[in-house]
Amino acid sequence: MDEVARLLTLLALLGGAMTLLGGVCVWYLDETRRIRRTLTQALGATPQPMLAARGRGVGIGFDLSKNLVAVTWDRGGWRLNYRLDELIGVEMIVDRHVAARAFRGEPRRALDQLVDPEDLVRLRFVFDDPEHADFELDLWQPEDEGRRGRLYADEALREANRWMARMESLLRRPVAKPAAVARAAATAAPPVQAAAPPPQPTPPEPAPQAQQPARQPVGPLFGDDAFEDDAEDAFR
């Protein structure tokens, strides 16, 4: 009996440990948490705000303190980073037509009616990037009905409308581009350089002066004749 009791206790402990391990794995591999971790790695901080489409494996996050945007798909398997000034507009697509939009430098086209969608609720983020020009995030599709953790049609529409208002406020914020910032910094604080000494004026060359011919001695310089001439000059 003691051996049977020990065996049953061991099996119960093993089953509890496996259940706990399975719960940890499910929690860690949860789709939304994986998307959040990927966006955190891309931005270097916890994304705020963040939007994830459960069941589609896609999400978008912002770091407003650094003016960064990151998108991810394939449940966090792939990601892209953008600057906030590269986000040029957002569209809300309901049932295959654009129901609302907000773009930089354009008046906002707001959602004028909250009618339950029948086919699709999608947010399309447009970026100033020739290679990856947009990112689509489906908040609702008909197959989401009744699935755990998915939004209902009216909830998805309201969530999309809230994000349109949020994106409009972001798009109205002036964001300086890196080139403009660099030019402004260069204009405001030019590098300090040691002032070069002013060039010294070259002194004018002296005018050539006429040289007087060397006076030639008259008469002998050495010998008795020279002393005789001097003596004669003295007596004169």
Mean pLDDT of the chain: 77
Those residues whose C-beta lies under 8 Å from the C-beta of residue 65, and which sit 6 or more positions away, are 45
Under 8 Å between Cβ of 55 and 137: no
187 pLDDT band, cuts 50/70/90, is very low
**Amino acid symbol at 86:** E
Q: How far apart are CA 71 and CA 86, in angstroms?
A: 13
pLDDT category at 96 given cuts 50, 70, 90 is confident
How much is the pTM? 0.66
Q: Average of pLDDT values for 197-206? A: 61
Contact 16, 24 (CB under 8 A): no
- Note whether 155 and 145 are within 8 A (CB): no
Distance CA 27, CA 9 (A): 27
Please choose, from the candidates 161, 61, 16, 18, the residue with its C-alpha nearest in 3D space to the C-alpha of residue 101: 161
User: Residue 73 forms beta bridges with which residues?
Assistant: 78
pLDDT in tens, 127-164: 999 999 999 999 999 988 878 888 899 899 999 999 99
d(CA 12, CA 4): 12
Task: Give tens-digit pLDDT for 15-72.
Answer: 777 776 666 665 555 788 999 999 999 999 999 999 999 889 999 999 999 999 999 9
Higher-confidence position of 94 and 176: 94
pLDDT tens, residue by residue, 73-92: 998 889 999 999 999 999 99
Least confident of 85-89, 97-101, 192-196: 192-196
Q: Is 190 left (phi over 0), alpha (psi -120 to 50) or beta?
A: beta
Q: Is the peptide bond before 49 cis (omega within 30 degrees of 0)?
A: yes
Report helix, strand or coil for 17: helix
Q: What is the pLDDT of residue 30?
A: 78
Is residue 42 exposed (0-12), middle (13-18) or buried (19+ Cβ within 10 Å)?
buried
What's the pLDDT at 67?
93
- Summarize the confidence of residues 175-197 as an average pLDDT: 50
pLDDT for position 101: 92
